């Protein structure tokens, strides 16, 4: 007969922990009851795992009930209390969490740093800073977990994880008021928090408090303050603090010196930076690769390339190995000084220098150096090397290459490059895309331009009026009327003033439509623009009026003109001249004269072309007397007759 193996307490423990961790809490509870009925007692780990599972599931009340019941089996440990403190804070029950902490200490279970971290996390995530301070103040006042490690954990959590330097400062104040002497780390944490918050005055005040309390600042204290001063462009004060630090017997380290040297270089004080660099050497603080890189970069930016190269050679002689940042700074300086061939020679020495390999920045810098000199063959060679090495070109590199191709009327060669950069998360800038599209239209590659526009529109890269207007104008000039209309109507339908259609785009489309007899479409376009709140330019109306005139659709032309007049300010005389011309051609000279008078009252005064057209109309209709009368009016108005005027009057 097979032997039956009964589960023991270890079996039950493993199962309960497993089901609790998996979230199968009801099964875990049943197993715990079965375990007890079989005469086994659960240990703290089993109970804590189950309670944590209940807390994570939001079943805090059940977790607390289980906590009270577990005392019959075993005493809760620090993990048990910590799990409950976190759950109570998460549920917003801060008083209960605080009470649980007090109970924990009363039972002789000392909270550890995890308990305090959990308490702070709960208070900061789910409560307010005021609530957090009240609880932490009470914790300290009651002597709960009063140890340097606990205080450091609380302050570090507040400063580094929650950026609550004000709260951390208050906690530090309570620690001092309670009679404890804060550690250097506590002061450093809060001073660093103030510096990060750009509150340097508070950081300085705390340094004074630190010294008053007999806590000696260390190199990290001074370096934190010096870093804050340099970031705030208060480099002079940083220098003073550095010297004060030395006279006070605290030796700066390489980070301290490097920070001030970096601040000086950023302010263009390269001579002072070099002097400090030499001073740190005399003080037996050898500069490291970071220090050298800072100064080399500063010299390069100041166009002192030869000094930078000398420092590079000296660096190698002293046993400080350059890294790729060193090479990149020198290569950048050489390229910006138009010494690209020297930069490439330096680039070729990288493999033998012990540096692992050039990076994307190295290749991009060389690329831009060649491109700036117009040496596109060399630039393309570097671009190919960059890609072959598995690096992705950045936006600036793509843009530079594309624009250089467009300058040489080779836009069609970079269409795939534009697609590639967009697919890699570098949407082309407006100037880049417009240069390519413009080049394609100018080179009569209209279909490629339309395909590229559609592709970029699908990626959301065409959201700019310049692109839309360029495409509309390009398609109009290529007689792609339907596509041009669709794109322009898309712009109009946005009803967004930043997408205001340009007069050149609308003019081109209206003119192109009228040339093929599609005046109705042109008229409808201008009407729709007016409805959407976009005022078409006078030149656009002129194009439509000319188109209607060529088709002798006088009534429609009149309607368009009147609509134009009523829609806005007085038309320009060029528009009026178009109407005057076809009225005279239609033997409606009186109507033409009346129109001139009406427009004059609106501030649109006739020019010599207007008068000549009317004079010609009168002469053709056999009314030379009215033509001569008009000449007199014209002269009185200050208009000088020209040769055309005199030729017309010879009728």
Residues 294 and 326: their CA atoms lie apart, in Å, by 9
Instruction: Report whether pLDDT(469) > 50.
Output: yes
Q: How confident is the model at residue 497 (pLDDT cuts 50, 70, 90)?
A: low
Residue 113 phi, psi dihedral angles, 5° rounding: -65, -30
| Alpha helix (H) residue ranges in 91-147 | 94-106, 113-126, 129-141
Q: Flag whether 45 is in a domain.
A: no
Share of the chain above pLDDT 90, in %: 30
By the 8 A CB rule, do 96 and 86 touch?
Answer: no
Q: What is the pLDDT of residue 298?
A: 97
Mean pLDDT of 233-259: 95
Q: What is the 3-state secondary structure (H, E, C) of 551-585?
A: CCCHHHHHHHHHHHHHHCCCCCHHHHHHHHHHHHH
Residue 515 has pLDDT above 80, yes or no: yes
**Distance between alpha carbon 261 and the CA centroid of its chain, in Å?**
29
pLDDT tier at 1, thresholds 50, 70, 90: very low
Q: What is the Cα gyration radius of the chain?
A: 41
**Rounded CA gap, 480 and 131, in Å?**
68
- Segment 582-609, tens digit of pLDDT: 888 888 889 888 888 888 888 888 888 9
pLDDT at 304: 96
Calculate mean pLDDT across residues 169-188: 91
Tell me if 133 sits within 8 A of 120, measured CB to CB: no
Please say if the pLDDT value at position 266 is more than 50: yes
- Dist CA 429 CA 396 (whole Å): 10
What value does the mean pLDDT take over residues 147-167?
Answer: 85
Cα of first residue to Cα of last residue in the chain, in angstroms, is: 138
Q: For residue 136, is pLDDT > 80?
A: no
Judge whether residue 197 has pLDDT over 90: yes
Q: Give a yes or no: residue 550 inside a domain.
A: yes
235-259 burial: b if 16+ Cβ within 10 Å, else e: bebbbebbeebeeeebebeeebbbb
Confidence of residue 278 (pLDDT cuts 50, 70, 90): very high
d(CA 568, CA 526): 13
Q: SS3 breakdown of the chain: % helix, strand, coil, rounded to 5?
A: 75, 0, 25
**CA quadruple 260, 266, 271, 277: dihedral sign:** positive
Contact 130, 165 (CB under 8 A): no
257 contacts 287 by C-beta, under 8 angstroms: yes
In terms of Cα–Cα distance, which of 121, 102, 189, 113 is closest to 149?
A: 113
Token couple for 36: 């007890």
- CA–CA dist 537, 568 (Å, integer): 11
Q: How far apart are CA 333 and CA 49, in angstroms?
A: 61
Mean pLDDT of 412-421: 82
pLDDT, tens digit (0-9, with 9 covering 90-100), for 213-244: 999 999 999 999 999 999 999 999 999 999 99
pLDDT score recorded for residue 370: 93
On the CB side of 617, CA atoms within 13 Å amount to 23
**Range 113-123 burial, b when 16+ CB lie within 10 A, else e:** bebbbbbbbbb
Cβ burial of 361 (10 Å; 0-12, 13-18, 19+) is middle
Question: Does position 277 have pLDDT exceeding 50, yes or no?
Answer: yes
Would you state the structure tokens that stand for residue 163, as one six-digit string? 């950026």
What's the domain count of the chain? 1
Residue that wins the pLDDT comparison between 331 and 567: 331
Average pLDDT, the chain: 86
List the structure tokens of 497.
Answer: 């003033």
- Which residue's structure tokens are 């967009």? 422
DSSP at 3: P
Rounded-to-integer distance, Cα 514 and Cα 527, Å: 15
Whether the predicted pLDDT of 196 surpasses 90: yes
DSSP letters, 352-391, are: GGT-----HHHHHHHHHHHHHTT-HHHHHHHHHHHHHTTP
CA 432 – CA 391 distance, rounded (Å): 22
pLDDT at site 498: 67
Inter-CA distances, 502 with 307, 309, 343, 446, 463, Å: 53, 53, 46, 20, 15
Per-residue tokens: 581: 């011309």
Taking Cα atoms as reference points, which of 592, 607, 540 lies closest to residue 567?
A: 540
| CATH value at residue 497 | 1.25.40.10
Residue 523, pLDDT score: 86
The pLDDT assigned to 569 comes to 63
Which phi and psi angles does 358 have, rounded to 5°? -65, 150
Q: Is 80 exceeded by the pLDDT of residue 125?
A: no
How long, in residues, is the chain? 651
The count of other CB atoms within 10 Å of the CB of residue 181 is 11
Residue 524 forms part of a structural domain: yes
H helix count then E strand count, the chain: 37, 0
Lowest mean pLDDT among 31-45, 59-73, 500-514: 31-45
Confidence of residue 142 (pLDDT cuts 50, 70, 90): low
Q: What is the pLDDT of residues 350-401, one digit of tens each?
A: 988 888 788 999 999 999 999 889 898 899 899 889 988 888 888 888 888 8
Do the Cβ atoms of 230 and 236 come closer than 8 Å? no
The rounded distance, in Å, linking the Cα atoms of 369 and 363 is 10
Token duo for residue 47:
């109970």
- What is d(CA 549, CA 579) in angstroms, rounded to the nearest whole number? 8
Are the C-beta atoms of residues 402 and 383 closer than 8 Å to each other?
no
DSSP state of 127: S
Other Cβ atoms within 10 Å of 87 Cβ, number: 26
- For residue 67, which of 99, 111, 94 has the smallest C-alpha distance? 99
Q: Which domain holds residue 509?
A: 467-569
647 secondary structure, DSSP code: H
Is-contact 449 440, C-beta < 8 A? Answer: yes
- At 128 the pLDDT is 67
Count CB atoms within 10 A of the CB of residue 483: 17
Distance CA 370, CA 381 (A): 10
Contact predicate 491/457, CB 8 Å: no
DSSP labels for 13-61?
A: HHHHHHHHHTT-HHHHHHHHHHHHHTT----HHHHHHHHHHHHHTT-HH
Q: What are phi and psi of 33, to 5 degrees?
A: -65, -45
Number of neighbouring beta carbons within 10 Å of residue 219: 14
d(CA 497, CA 10): 74
**H or E element: which one contains 278?**
helix 270-282
Convert the pLDDT of each residue in 544-571 to its tens digit: 888 887 887 878 888 888 877 776 666 7
CB burial of 413-422 (b: ≥16 within 10 Å; e: otherwise) equals ebbebbbebb
pLDDT, residue 456, reads: 86
């Amino acid at each position: 007969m097979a032997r039956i193996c009964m589960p023991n307490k270890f079996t039950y423990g493993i199962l309960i922990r497993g089901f609790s961790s998996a979230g199968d809490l009801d099964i875990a509870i049943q197993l715990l009851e079965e375990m007890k009925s079989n005469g086994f007692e659960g240990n703290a780990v089993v109970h804590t795992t189950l309670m944590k599972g209940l807390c994570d599931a939001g079943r805090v009340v059940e977790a607390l009930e289980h906590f009270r019941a577990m005392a019959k089996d075993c005493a809760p440990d620090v993990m048990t209390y910590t799990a409950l403190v976190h759950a109570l804070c998460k549920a917003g029950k801060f008083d209960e969490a605080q009470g649980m902490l007090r109970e924990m200490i009363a039972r002789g279970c000392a909270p550890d740093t995890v308990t305090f971290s959990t308490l702070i996390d709960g208070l900061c995530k789910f409560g307010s800073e005021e609530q957090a301070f009240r609880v932490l103040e009470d914790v300290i006042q009651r002597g709960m977990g009063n140890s340097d490690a606990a205080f450091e954990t609380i302050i570090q959590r507040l400063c580094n994880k929650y950026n609550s330097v004000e709260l951390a400062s208050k906690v530090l104040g309570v620690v001092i008021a309670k009679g404890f002497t804060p550690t250097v780390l506590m002061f450093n944490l809060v001073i660093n928090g103030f510096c990060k918050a750009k509150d340097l005055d508070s950081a300085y005040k705390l340094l004074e408090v630190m010294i008053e309390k007999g806590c000696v600042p260390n190199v990290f204290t001074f370096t934190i303050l010096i870093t804050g001063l340099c970031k705030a462009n208060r480099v002079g004060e940083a220098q003073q603090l550095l010297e004060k630090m030395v006279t006070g017997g605290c030796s700066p380290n390489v980070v301290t010196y490097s920070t001030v040297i970096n601040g000086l270089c950023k302010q263009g004080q390269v001579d002072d930076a070099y002097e400090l660099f030499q001073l740190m050497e005399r003080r037996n603080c050898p500069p490291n690769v970071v220090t050298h890189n800072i100064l080399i970069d500063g010299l390069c930016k100041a166009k002192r390339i030869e000094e930078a190269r000398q420092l590079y050679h000296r660096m190698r002689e002293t046993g400080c190995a350059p890294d790729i940042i060193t090479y990149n700074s020198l290569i950048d300086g050489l390229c910006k000084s138009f010494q690209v061939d020297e930069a490439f020679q330096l680039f070729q020495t990288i493999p033998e220098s012990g540096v692992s390999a050039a990076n994307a920045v190295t290749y991009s810098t060389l690329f831009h150096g060649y491109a700036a000199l117009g040496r596109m063959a060399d630039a393309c060679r570097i671009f190919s090397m960059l890609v072959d090495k598995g690096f992705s070109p950045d936006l600036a590199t793509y843009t530079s290459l594309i624009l250089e191709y467009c300058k040489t009327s080779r836009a069609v060669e970079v269409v795939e490059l534009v697609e590639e950069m967009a697919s890699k998360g570098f949407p082309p800038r407006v100037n880049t895309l417009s240069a390519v599209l413009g080049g394609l239209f100018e080179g009569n590659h209209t279909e490629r331009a339309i395909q590229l526009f559609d592709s970029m529109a699908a990626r959301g890269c065409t959201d700019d009026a310049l692109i839309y207007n360029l495409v509309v104008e390009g398609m109009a000039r290529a007689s792609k009327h339907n596509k041009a209309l669709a794109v322009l109507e898309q712009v109009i339908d946005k009803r967004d003033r930043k997408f205001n259609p340009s007069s050149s785009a609308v003019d081109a489309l209206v003119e192109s439509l009228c040339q093929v007899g599609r005046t109705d479409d042109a008229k409808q376009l201008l009407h729709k623009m007016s409805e959407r709140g976009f005022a078409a330019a006078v030149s656009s109306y002129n194009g439509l009026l000319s188109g209607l005139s060529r088709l002798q659709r006088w009534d429609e032309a009149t309607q368009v003109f009147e609509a134009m007049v009523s829609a806005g300010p007085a038309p320009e005389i060029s528009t009026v001249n178009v109407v005057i011309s076809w009225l005279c051609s239609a033997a409606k000279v009186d109507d033409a004269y009346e129109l001139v008078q009406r427009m004059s009252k609106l501030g649109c005064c006739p020019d010599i072309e207007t008068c000549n057209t009317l004079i010609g109309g009168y002469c053709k209709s056999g009314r030379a007397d009215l033509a001569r009368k008009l000449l007199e009016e014209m002269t009185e108005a200050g208009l000088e007759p020209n040769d055309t005027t005199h030729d017309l009057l010879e009728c």
